[in-house]
Structure 1
Amino acid sequence: MRNNAEVTTSAAAQHPAPAQPRPRLIATDLDGTLLRDDKSVSPRTVAALAAAEQAGIEVFFVTGRPARWMDVVSDHVHGHGLAICGNGAAVVDLHGGPGQHRFVKLRAMERETALDVIEVLRAAAPGTSFAVERTGGICHEFAYPPVHIDPVIAIAPAEKLLAEDFDLADQPVLKLLAHHGDLTPDAFLALAREAIGTRAEVTRSSPTALLEISAPGVSKASTLALCCAERGIGPEEVVAFGDMPNDVEMLTWAGRSYAMGNAHPDVIAAASSSTVANNDDGVAVIIEQLIEEARTAN
């Protein structure tokens, strides 16, 4: 008579797990994921991205960054040339290089929604300061920590920055940013999500108490799903990588997902697998494995 362990092993052998579909698209976050901490793309990662495209696997960069911060990866978008920016608020064609990026899809926040969110969050977390990210750049309040990476268009109270007669009112609002100097990042995120509810999508990717707020239903996952649907690609054919809470929905949606070795605990819980840290080329490690899997399967 066989013991239970033998019965279990025998049953597993008779019913092996189904093979995973061949990946058709890789979706990767940038900061803390594809990029090293010095914001560079390692030679190994460059080679892996090129090999994936050569193998017929599209690569999409899916980031919280605005389009104007995408120069670091402009040379690596290959054929399609597209990247998802602003946590899903924009799809950008990076062909042409720095200064020539073109918006091809916008999922902007309505002015009334932005004002409502600001009012609610001010009441829930006094001391919150705001910035407004538009297609042409960023504007912020006087108390908001300055952004040193690029020039600020205007500094004024958020209500003025969102006024109908503001000089940049014709530029769509891609997202709001909210900063708090006293709350911890995760505490601020939890508080804001409870206060804002379904008015908007609230997430974060910064190590500080800086929240990123998008229009209702707009996230990395939802915009990636739209781009994949346009290509006839299902979630089971997507491999995703991320490290911070703004990646959670994307990692949950994708058929295969990897949390970086340096990932936030919520990301580790959401992903189906893990890889090594960004500074150890964790994305490249998995891409190389995927290409080898495809080669041996042929």
Structure 2
Amino acid sequence: MHRPDLVASDVDGTLLDPAERITARTGRVISRVLAADIPFVLVTGRPPRWIPRVAEAAGLTGYAVCANGGVVYDIGNDEVLHVRDLTPLQLQDVVRAVESALPEARIAAERTALGRDQPQPFAIEPGFLNPWGLPEGETDSPDLAPRAEVVGKPATKLLLRHGGMTSGQMAEAVTAVTSDMDLEVTYSSNSGLIEISASGVTKASGLEWVCRKLAVDQERVIAFGDMPNDVPMVGWAGHGVAMANAHDDLLAVADEVTAPNSEDGVAQVLERWF
């Protein structure tokens, strides 16, 4: 591949080291990418409110694709530019289907509004526990509400949690009972949490929106990831790179495998050009 015209990277398990830090080596190469006037885009399952700390550590002020492609966030202006939601009717249909297959599952909803004001961005029902907790330095005060209220407003993504299953097992079970609903079902850890978005909403669709805005050709994009929610993006990019610590589904579609996030795998590739 020639020097890329845009760098896209997943955050957790990819750009951040296992202690959730931007290492000195990775920070230096990001600075060189930006100095060459090449956009560096964060593409993550995280919501916009969990982006500023990472962006500040990396020296980024451009775009972030959040919520697995459902949101495009302008970091420098602290403003959401693009949102793709699930409707309340879709959310209710999903939950009814899931109740029959996984009655013990608990739900949460990420909500994102265009602009800067983000009222009640995260709603959970009683019993929902995030298996990985909050990212380093972040705090959240979720809106605790009955299930009917959690699915009563549009949501960027629906999260389902089941403490007795892996995320892969959950994804298989939920896909089986929602196959006629035209949804995107994925996961970013294997700790019993899956994420559901509207049809066509993936990290690839969000990154494509950014590339159109910046007039960057798909073939000139390099993308890095580590989990199943990165598969569409890594497959879409002109050059897709999987971390050595990546899920097997991602390793299968990547053009290249780099070192793990514990060994600055992103930096090792980008140092070829920057």
Q: Do both share a fold (TM > 0.5)? A: yes
Structure 2: how far apart are the matches of 1:151 and 1:57?
33
Residue in 2 that maps onto 1:156 = 145
Given that 2:158 and 2:196 are in contact with CA atoms closer than 8 Å, whether structure 1 keeps it comes out as yes
Residue in 2 that maps onto 1:142 = 126
Residue in 1 that maps onto 2:169 = 187
Aligned length: 260
* TM-aligned CA deviation for residue 21 of structure 1: 4.2
2:82 maps to which of 89, 94, 105: 105
* TM-aligned CA deviation for residue 156 of structure 1: 2.4
Q: Once structures 1 and 2 are overlaid, which stretch shifts more, 271-280 or 132-141?
A: 132-141
* TM-aligned CA deviation for residue 124 of structure 1: 1.9
Given that 2:171 and 2:194 are in contact with CA atoms closer than 8 Å, whether structure 1 keeps it comes out as yes
Given that 1:59 and 1:77 are in contact with CA atoms closer than 8 Å, whether structure 2 keeps it comes out as no
Structure 1: how far apart are the matches of 2:151 and 2:174?
20
* TM-aligned CA deviation for residue 247 of structure 1: 0.1
Matched position secondary structure for 2:273: helix
Structure 2: how far apart are the matches of 1:186 and 1:162?
23
Structure 2: how far apart are the matches of 1:243 and 1:258?
9
Matched position secondary structure for 2:103: coil
Matched position secondary structure for 1:289: coil
Q: Once structures 1 and 2 are overlaid, which stretch shifts more, 47-56 or 249-258?
A: 47-56
Structure 2: how far apart are the matches of 1:112 and 1:216?
14
Residue in 1 that maps onto 2:17 = 36
Correspondence 1:1-298 to 2 at 5 A: 20-75=1-56, 76=58, 78=60, 81-95=62-76, 101-135=78-112, 136=118, 137-145=121-129, 148=134, 149-163=138-152, 169=153, 172-197=154-179, 198-291=181-274
Matched position secondary structure for 2:252: helix
Structure 2: how far apart are the matches of 1:119 and 1:236?
41
- Taking structure 1 as the reference length, the TM-score comes to 0.82
* TM-aligned CA deviation for residue 85 of structure 1: 0.7
Letter in 1 for 2:260: A
Given that 1:62 and 1:88 are in contact with CA atoms closer than 8 Å, whether structure 2 keeps it comes out as yes
Q: In proportion to residue count, which structure has more helix?
A: 1
Letter in 2 for 1:110: T
When the two chains are superposed, the root-mean-square deviation of aligned CA atoms in Å is 1.7
Given that 1:26 and 1:239 are in contact with CA atoms closer than 8 Å, whether structure 2 keeps it comes out as yes
Residue in 2 that maps onto 1:10 = none
Matched position secondary structure for 1:31: helix
Matched position secondary structure for 2:168: helix
Q: 1:267 to 1:125 in 2, by over 3 A?
A: same
Given that 2:60 and 2:75 are in contact with CA atoms closer than 8 Å, whether structure 1 keeps it comes out as no
Structure 2: how far apart are the matches of 1:185 and 1:73?
25
* TM-aligned CA deviation for residue 230 of structure 1: 2.3
Given that 1:40 and 1:72 are in contact with CA atoms closer than 8 Å, whether structure 2 keeps it comes out as no
Q: Note the residue ranges of structure 2 that are not aligned, 5 or more in a row.
A: 113-117
* TM-aligned CA deviation for residue 162 of structure 1: 2.7
Q: Once structures 1 and 2 are overlaid, which stretch shifts more, 25-34 or 47-56?
A: 47-56
Q: Note the residue ranges of structure 1 that are not aligned, 5 or more in a row.
A: 1-19, 164-168, 292-298
